[in-house]
Structure 1
Amino acid sequence: MTGAYVEILRARHAARLLVGTLVGRLPNAVASLAIMLFVRAEGGSYSLAGGLAAVYGVANAVGQPLLGRLVDLYGQPRVQLPAAVASALAMAGFAFVGIGTLPLAYAAVVASGLLAPPLEGGLRALWASVLHKEGQVHTAYALDAVAQEVMFTVGPLLLTLCTALWSAQAALLVLNAVGVLGALSVVVSAPSRAWRSAPREAHWLGALRSAGLVALLAAFLFVGMAMGSIVVAAASYADDNGGDAVYGWLMAGLGLGALVGGTVYGARQWGGDPARRLRVLVGLLAVCYLPLMLMPSVVAMTLLAVLAGVFLAPCIACAFVLVDRHAPRGTVTEAFSWLVTTFTVGASVGTGLAGPVVEAGGALWGFAVPGAAGAVSLLVLLGTGRVLAAPARGAVVAASSENDPNRAVEPRFSSGDRA
């Protein structure tokens, strides 16, 4: 099972790009928690902490596709590194200004979120130039999805460790400085410096002029809602069954499930239409959320949480393949950044929706929300099946050093409909 991953990590530049991207994304991954810890340490209310974290999330959702478009236009080093430095400086300003002057605090948080570099989309744009075998690129997408689960587990631990050793302010400064170093490691690499997007058709919609991409984003809005809502439902269950420790076990179970599912999924090559396979994966994702409504003992509930997480990383990895196929020529980084934004917005909507549901019906109905969101995502995929369908077998374009494999405004896929 590990052979496919070892082969990828042995490829020149691959390990560096993956690790550098994860380190560079660390400040963004822990931003909401870091803001909340800092505001509480400064004596601010939970409402203020939540408001600042929400503003950061919205700004980040807006900034990712915009910066992704700039990367496609001007290359990675010219955009990624200045954005990383500016975002870190803005967060440092927030750390020094504190919450004494709220307009400045909000402005700093907005700037930091808006300027966070689109390293995630940038990495996926680089895989094709680093891994020259078509199947390896798809395995790299699965490895990417698994690595995200590791980052979202390790990141909060590093944040709380820095806070315990020094202070919440120091944690903000240190993690953002480390993030700049991660971005620097990526942009000075040969693949990043050499990468150029294919020429693009001038269009104000950019990547969103692809009907296939829009259909995929619509489906993943609801996948994000499922992830956002399950966090709230799990917190409600934990309140009645042991508190924060139980909540930590449930979140760890979800992460472990995604880690295992993504690892197994990426260890083999998959034939056939990736759009059809995504429908199966999303359907299984929705079904595996439903047993959580049984709300058994803590041990059994943790095992159900593992099951609920198994198909998340495979869904994300399969979605990466479809983004690659449907992104219009010259918009690959922007297209991947739109997927990040859509998932983030969906998670925020899911969190907001699950709150009133839990208050009205308890954790039982809270756990119904992710299952329902997954079902709606499946309906979107079924309803847009023709748009997402694989192109004709003869439509494959020869591989090239450019990352964008599409070669045309019309959707193409560089790997012979294999994913």
Structure 2
Amino acid sequence: MGAGATGYADILRAPHAARLLAGTLVGRLPNATAHIAIVLFTRAEGGSYTLAGGLAAAYGIATAIGQPLLGRAIDLRGQPRVQLPAAVVSALGMVLFAAVGLDSLLLAYAAVAVAGLFTPPLEGGLRALWPSVLGRQERVHRAYALDAVAQEILFTLGPLLITLIVSFWSAGAALLVINVIGVFGALSVVSSKPSRAWRSAPREAHWLGALRSPGLLALLGAFFFVGLALGSITVAGVAYADDHGRESIYGLLMAALGLGALIGGVFYGARQWAGAPERRLLVLIALLAVGYLPLALTPGVVPMTVLSVIAGVFLAPAIACAFIVVDRHAPRGTVTEAFSWLVTTFGVGAAAGTAAAGPAAEWGGTDWSFAVAGAGGIAALLVLMATQRVLAVPGRTTDIVSFEDEVYGQPKASSENDRNGAAEPGFSSGLEA
């Protein structure tokens, strides 16, 4: 743990690193809390679980469509021209949703769809910037782990912030405040020197873009079901809180899930891991699936909170490992798009999970809605088991060039990536992730 903390500190001391990480997290706050905010707002307006799940699903599907499209636009045109305008339009969509409420369902669905479609791909953008800012492969790998840990801080504090705003003001106010904060986060990122200078590697023209990689497709198939599991928990947690008569329980369970992932991520990033990351990911997904299954027992609040912490422990390690796998299998010049497809599959899966968990809660009870999460975890494991042969063949190697080298045109000696580690992503010299 001491070595891991030292490694994290080394990353954050690198020029621009802390600002990029913090700005990305703040900019992602609207997306990270959107499903929770939409569900709470819909319920506060008198909508059913099914309607809440449907609106959250519409947001998730729109996000899934927008992320790779915006990611490809960033690869072609750079980050500032895409990220900030998208963040503003997305925020305006949520403002419209808060203003119209459920008076016009057509307008409500359109508003959340716009918010989702224009969600800026800040995740993919940050992972594209890490190699240019940090340079060495081992630092980039640790940054992926730090990235995953930081996400779990976001997913731990995000639900608590939403419930706090709802408690003091309203669910509508939560939608407005969170999205205004998100715009400022995106602005912080795109105004930084690395973001303004970054360009993607030259890419081979192909209409499929990043999706022409079989290994990437296999990974995305598995993470669709991880997203399904997490999306179902969003709705199942609300049903559980309603069963126990306290809205605050929902925020507690979501925070517990994020806390577990935070703990797992810190321990995972505290050491170097040998061997192929594809095999390691298989083990992590298996443990993640096992952690989701007991949630269907729906015991009392205290044991349920403990189970939620356990369920989250292997999430951040699995995500950090998936970043490396994406990096190893993404075709040249598709860095942001490839990582955005990971966000997309998560979004589609989460949308499917929220859509399935709503009717499951109404017709079968809260335990059935949590059972959707367990089924999602098992399905993700089966996909990875079936595609291990495809995943065992990484798609490429790249070179590492630092931000200073690229900006000042004095590249240092570069090194070829280790096939047992991650291929390093790219800057305009040919880096890619």
- What is the TM-score with the length of structure 2 in the denominator? 0.84
Q: Secondary structure at the match of 1:112?
A: helix
Distance 1:230 1:169 in 2: 22
Percent of aligned positions with the same letter in both sequences? 68
Distance 1:105 1:216 in 2: 33
Q: 1:341 Cα deviation (Å)?
A: 1.2
Q: Secondary structure at the match of 1:203?
A: coil
The aligned amino acid for 2:334 is: T
Distance 1:91 1:197 in 2: 31
Q: Is the 8 A contact 2:163 2:248 kept in 1?
A: no
Flag structure 1 segments of 5+ consecutive residues without an equivalent. Answer: 403-412
Please list the CA deviations of residues 148-167 of structure 1 after superposition, one character each: whole Å capped at 9, or x if unmatched.
22212322333344455555
Distance 2:390 2:242 in 1: 44
Within the candidate set 47, 69, 91, 1:45 is matched to 47
Q: Is the 8 A contact 1:65 1:341 kept in 2?
A: yes
The aligned amino acid for 1:274 is: P
Q: Is the 8 A contact 2:73 2:82 kept in 1?
A: yes
Distance 2:364 2:170 in 1: 39
- Residue 227 (structure 1) aligned with residue 230 (structure 2): yes
Within the candidate set 295, 312, 317, 1:314 is matched to 317
The aligned amino acid for 1:417 is: N
- Residue 26 (structure 1) aligned with residue 26 (structure 2): no
Matches within 5 A, 1:107-256: 107-165=110-168, 168-234=171-237, 244-256=247-259
Q: Secondary structure at the match of 1:30?
A: helix
Please list the CA deviations of residues 209-261 of structure 1 after superposition, one character each: whole Å capped at 9, or x if unmatched.
11110000001111122223344555555565665455444333322111100
Flag structure 2 segments of 5+ consecutive residues without an equivalent. Answer: 404-415, 423-433
Distance 1:164 1:307 in 2: 27
- Residues 1:391 and 1:344: Cα distance change in structure 2 (over 3 Å): closer
- Residues 1:178 and 1:228: Cα distance change in structure 2 (over 3 Å): closer
Please list the CA deviations of residues 64-103 of structure 1 after superposition, one character each: whole Å capped at 9, or x if unmatched.
1110110011000111111112222333344445555554
Please list the CA deviations of residues 260-280 of structure 1 after superposition, one character each: whole Å capped at 9, or x if unmatched.
001110111111100000011
Matches within 5 A, 1:370-389: 370-389=373-392
- Residues 1:368 and 1:142: Cα distance change in structure 2 (over 3 Å): same
Q: Is the 8 A contact 1:26 1:151 kept in 2?
A: yes
- Residues 1:48 and 1:290: Cα distance change in structure 2 (over 3 Å): closer
Q: Is the 8 A contact 2:90 2:115 kept in 1?
A: yes
- Residues 1:325 and 1:294: Cα distance change in structure 2 (over 3 Å): same
Q: Is the 8 A contact 2:129 2:195 kept in 1?
A: yes
Distance 2:129 2:47 in 1: 42
Q: CA RMSD in A?
A: 2.8
**Could you say which residue in structure 2 is the equivalent of 1:285?**
288
| 4+ long deviations beyond 6 Å | none
- Residues 1:386 and 1:183: Cα distance change in structure 2 (over 3 Å): same
Q: Secondary structure at the match of 2:274?
A: coil
- Residues 1:359 and 1:265: Cα distance change in structure 2 (over 3 Å): same
